[in-house]
Structure 1
Amino acid sequence: MKICVISFDFWNYDAHIVEELRRKGVDAHHINIGAYRHGSFSARIKNSISKILLKRNLKNKLRQEMILEKLNKLGPQDQILVINPELIDREFHVQIKKFTKRYIAYLYDSLARCPAQHLFDLFDNVFSFDKADAAKNSFQLITNYNYLPELKQTQPAEYDLIYLGSFDNRIGPLAKIIAKIEELNLSYSCVVVGKKTWTKKLVQNAGEITFTRKRIKHNDIPRYYSEGKVLVDLMRDNQTGLSFRFFEAMALKKKIITNNPTVKEYDFYRPENILVLNDDLSNLDRSFFESDYQELPVDVYEKYRIKHWVETVFELK
């Protein structure tokens, strides 16, 4: 069987899907449009001028042309999965679909954040991690996945609380959590990554947040999280689906605090492990940090591993 995954894989999560497929003996390939680079300095200059004068990013079209070039080399596929299909123009989707018998999409952003309704007639199946979107549009609901092997802490955590995320509107809630953590005399480490981190001075009462344009390498994320006893998960605006934080915490046996109340609807939710914050943070206290992580039943843990995700999405046995 031949399967191709197409995505803009900024944090390198999608590559795990291809790795799992290969472990199952599938001839799998990943076309990462986020990895596209201009072929020359002059091409970069041309694109910069186009963005400034014409408000048009030539790189977007070149990325999509790259997809077709790679598919022409790979040949026909039994299945093609596109993750967040709104990043590709409809005309290119039509061409991509010609390469496969089964064309499927996975949304790990909400439609409110990343509208893609104009594309859904092209797909044989659409999967979504957002319960509201799945119910409203008859998508197949599926969470993100646990891509890590089961790990246990071998050394005491250096910090009580740890956070890693992109630079966006979650900075405000994070700053409030940090203020509370400081009141409780707990330790923390927070890293915020993004091109606009130069605006960090505009963030009020941000505490000791590390702002950087250089992201932590994906393979280093488990090591970074291992330095904290409790992880922080904060929802993006207009989104209720579960982030990868929950599944990384699951693999690392870490507790997690979150402002996403929908996690209570999932079978892996345990109040001993997951603290859903009140709006005023009134339930954030030292007791959550002082109690131990409670192990999940094996069948629940296995349900959220990438193996099960791949078997479900690609209809594999």
Structure 2
Amino acid sequence: MQSPPLGIRNKKIIILCRDVGGYLGRLSTFLGKSNDVVFLDLTHGAKELPWLPGKLRRWLKKYLIVKRARAAIRAAGHVDALLVVNPSQLDQGLVTLAQAAAALSVAYLSDGIARLSMPIDQLATFDKVYTFDGADAREYQLRKLYNYIYEEHADFRTTSDFKAFVVMGGKHRVDVLGRVARAFEQLGYTNTCKFLVQSKPVLGASPLLTFFRQRMDIDETAEYVRRSEILIDIVRPGHAGLSFRFFEALLYRKKMITNNASVADYDFYDPRNI
């Protein structure tokens, strides 16, 4: 990312999201080079409260985060544009408040419609709705928008220290990843692969998988990507959009293994590399 498009300069913008991967923070920094950006990440913004019971602690943290975000939106006043990423994951009152402050409100869905926990007609409150999923774009008449290269420059050193690398969250794709891991084991690559899953250990899962709890930040993930020969992408049930892994593979010239058949529809698809 070199500089924002010519049409996005000297604007006041609110970005409202849950930036669990760090990618939206990079987008905010990028746009902030020539715009006034208010970045509201609802995964951060409240102190830890270890002395409270679990459910009460989670409720109070969410309350404090939303309260701080409301204050930030009010302080911003009228803005030129609002970007809300995955609005179904956010406090709806907060989304409505932000929409009222914006001349243009835009929603972006980085997950499939099937996984949305909101009625599809609620998206009609936005001026524009984009999705990374081509099938959803066609079925629901949404605008298609790809993921992006989030690095500021491309002169990183790359290696093949690891034969293969994958990191993913949750337990729903663990069985598929286990089969992939066993295939690499049969080829003799067990000790040179990183199969990482952010989740509690899953009973009966392949011993080749490494489970961990603390979310891996974007820089650590990118370092693994640069040091791996093959990147593995296992699509979540309910969508067919391309994850950031594909764009990292393009940037760093890595090979891909994926169960996302929709990649064959893209111009860059080459069966020798994917």
TM-score category (smaller protein): 0.7 to 0.9
Q: Amino acid of the residue matched to residue 66 of structure 2?
A: Q
Contact 2:158 2:227 in 1 (8 A): no
Contact 2:158 2:226 in 1 (8 A): no
Residue 48 in structure 1 maps to residue 55 in structure 2: yes
Q: How does 1:147-166 map to 2 (within 5 A)?
A: 147-148=150-151, 149-151=153-155, 153-155=157-159, 157-166=160-169
User: Per the alignment, do residues 259 and 151 of structure 1 end up closer, same or farther by CA in structure 2, a change over 3 Å counting?
Assistant: farther
Structure 2 distance, partners of 1:223, 1:185, is: 24
Equivalence for 1:306: none
Three-state SS of the structure 1 residue aligned to 2:154 is coil
Residue 226 in structure 1 maps to residue 226 in structure 2: yes
Three-state SS of the structure 1 residue aligned to 2:114 is coil
How many correspondences in the alignment?
260
Equivalence for 1:136: 139
TM-score by length of 2: 0.87
| Deviations, residues 255-291 of structure 1 (Å, cap 9, x unaligned) | 11000000111112121221xxxxxxxxxxxxxxxxx
Equivalence for 1:127: 130
Three-state SS of the structure 2 residue aligned to 1:103 is strand
Structure 2 distance, partners of 1:79, 1:121, is: 16
Equivalence for 1:267: 267
Q: How does 1:262-301 map to 2 (within 5 A)?
A: 262-274=262-274
* Partner residue of 1:190 out of 188, 195, 203: 195
Give percent identity, aligned residues only: 27
Q: CA shift at 1:50, angstroms?
A: 8.4
Structure 2 distance, partners of 1:256, 1:69, is: 44
Q: Amino acid of the residue matched to residue 67 of structure 2?
A: E
Q: Amino acid of the residue matched to residue 96 of structure 1?
A: A
| Deviations, residues 135-165 of structure 1 (Å, cap 9, x unaligned) | 111110011111123246454x122111111
* Partner residue of 1:19 out of 29, 32, 45: 29
| Deviations, residues 29-57 of structure 1 (Å, cap 9, x unaligned) | 21001113257566x44x72487xxxxx4
Structure 1 distance, partners of 2:121, 2:61, is: 22
User: Per the alignment, do residues 32 and 154 of structure 1 end up closer, same or farther by CA in structure 2, a change over 3 Å counting?
Assistant: closer
Three-state SS of the structure 2 residue aligned to 1:190 is strand
User: Per the alignment, do residues 170 and 222 of structure 1 end up closer, same or farther by CA in structure 2, a change over 3 Å counting?
Assistant: same
Q: CA shift at 1:120, angstroms?
A: 1.1
Equivalence for 1:36: 45
Q: CA shift at 1:250, angstroms?
A: 1.3
Q: Amino acid of the residue matched to residue 146 of structure 1?
A: I
Runs of 4 or more above 6 Å deviation: none
Q: Please, what is the CA RMSD of the aligned residues?
A: 2.1
Give the gaps of 5 or more residues in structure 1: 52-56, 275-317
Contact 1:152 1:253 in 2 (8 A): no
Structure 2 distance, partners of 1:154, 1:232, is: 17
Contact 2:15 2:40 in 1 (8 A): yes
Equivalence for 1:102: 104
Contact 2:49 2:57 in 1 (8 A): no
Three-state SS of the structure 2 residue aligned to 1:34 is coil
Contact 1:112 1:238 in 2 (8 A): yes
Q: How does 1:54-69 map to 2 (within 5 A)?
A: 57-69=59-71
Q: Amino acid of the residue matched to residue 218 of structure 2?
A: H
Three-state SS of the structure 2 residue aligned to 1:115 is coil
Structure 2 distance, partners of 1:245, 1:91, is: 33
Structure 1 distance, partners of 2:154, 2:272, is: 19
Contact 1:7 1:82 in 2 (8 A): yes
TM-score by length of 1: 0.76
